[in-house]
Amino acid sequence: MKVLVCISNVPDTTSKINFTENDTQFDTNGVQFVINPNDEFGLTRAMWLKEKQGATVHIATVGGANVEPTMRKALAIGADEAIRVNAEPTDGFFVAQQLAEVVKSGGYDLVIGGRESIDYNGGMVPGILASLLDMNFVNTCIKLEIEGEKVTAVREIDGGKETLSTSLPLVVGGQKGLVEESDLRIPNMRGIMMARKKALNVVEPVSGIHATEDVKFNKPAPKGEIKLAESVDELVSLLHNEAKVI
């Protein structure tokens, strides 16, 4: 079984976010980038398939050379090979088009991506990718078991969970629950050294459609000032006289 894990290079959630060029460009200065958390759950699940079923695991990213440290981390975690599409990931449809070409040329049985990235939260790439490839699709996936060509998956739905039976080839939009946070892997020294010798292939993008364009970014409104009450009586007084909620 050949597995492709789609990796997004996203800002760490602790990074301070700023914009430049009249709020039209994201300022990357001083920002630490990491593997998108939803993708990391999928990567860990792929590692289980490699260890228990002998699957071959590749990763793919759409981005410039600046994303390669993140890709090397994924290789250090255990992926066998990496593919970088040399293009800026301007919108979800364009990214899905590029990844579709990677899947077609690689002959993958299973494609795992995060249900959404934590930077733009578009939540569209896995679904579009499955449509372009005419492959089965399970989104918001929290459990995945594969036996031969048969797949059992559990996904989150409003108010509960749904168990599905499907087959390969398959695209999965994964999230927390596909593995638990405690199962996520930190690269060890041996993995880091081995990652340096693994193939990181750079391919040029195919002609694709840029369906959307970022016009301007706006930060959330700053939080209002707070007051700390030192006693219950003071709290009641503030709620009554200033907040006027009681």
Residue 75 lies in a domain: yes
Instruction: Give the number of domains in the chain.
Output: 1
Residue 227 lies in a domain: no
Give residue-wise pLDDT tens across range 169-185: 999 999 999 999 999 99
Give residue-wise pLDDT tens across range 199-216: 999 999 999 888 888 899
Q: At what angle do helices 125-133 and 92-106 cross, to 10 degrees?
A: 40
In degrees and rounded to multiples of 5, residue 130 shows phi and psi of: -60, -40
What are the Cα distances from residue 161, in Å, to 15, 116, 177? Answer: 33, 19, 12
CATH of the domain at 195: 3.40.50.620
Per-residue pLDDT at 226: 83
Per-residue pLDDT at 192: 93
Residue 48 lies in a domain: yes
Per-residue pLDDT at 213: 86
Global pTM value: 0.88
Residue 167 lies in a domain: yes
Residue 26 lies in a domain: yes
pLDDT at 106 over 90: yes
Residue 238 lies in a domain: no
Residue 243 lies in a domain: no
Give residue-wise pLDDT tens across range 82-96: 999 999 998 999 999
- Those residues whose C-beta lies under 8 Å from the C-beta of residue 45, and which sit 6 or more positions away, are 112, 144, 174, 178, 179
Q: Range of 146's domain? A: 2-220
pLDDT at 6 over 90: yes
- Beta carbons within 10 angstroms of residue 146's beta carbon: 21
